[in-house]
Amino acid sequence: MGSRLGVSQRLVQAWGGFSESVFPRLALALENSEFSREALLWVAQKKKVDRYASLVDFLFCEFFPFYRNTCFLFYEDSRKYRGLKDRLSDDELADFQDVLMYGLSYAEDLYRKRIPIPWSTFVGRVKKIIC
């Protein structure tokens, strides 16, 4: 577990990149709570979190893989490819943020209880409850 948690230190920031600051509650939770970051990384321990510019980008793209390719294109050339704030409406962003916040809360609960589940099961349960 210890080596996996080091991933958060390699990330430039908890938020930014493709997601910019369009999920302010999520960004604030990840930025201000080491426990939240550890919980997310614990649940995602088999995922390649460090290929994303931020934890918010990771969570968004892994929950909504439709946007993953666009995210990586944005990383390659942010002048050519638009970030999320230019792609989604305020209502869509609010809906996505609600899902991601519930996901973070669920990750914290699993981490607190040390209940390991596969990432796909984690995402599926969150989406089943909130979507």
20-62 per-position pLDDT tens digit: 678 989 988 998 899 999 999 999 999 999 899 889 999 999 9
Q: Please answer whether residues 99 and 63 qualify as being in contact, where contact means their C-beta atoms are separated by less than 8 angstroms.
A: yes
| pTM to 2 decimal places | 0.83
**pLDDT band for position 99 (50/70/90)?**
very high
What confidence tens digit (pLDDT) does each residue in 84-94 have?
A: 888 889 999 99
Q: What is the mean pLDDT of residues 95-120?
A: 97
Higher pLDDT, 13 or 3: 13
Buried-exposed string 4-43: b where 16+ CB fall within 10 A, e elsewhere: eeebbeebeebbbbbbbebbeebbebbbeeeebbbbbbbb
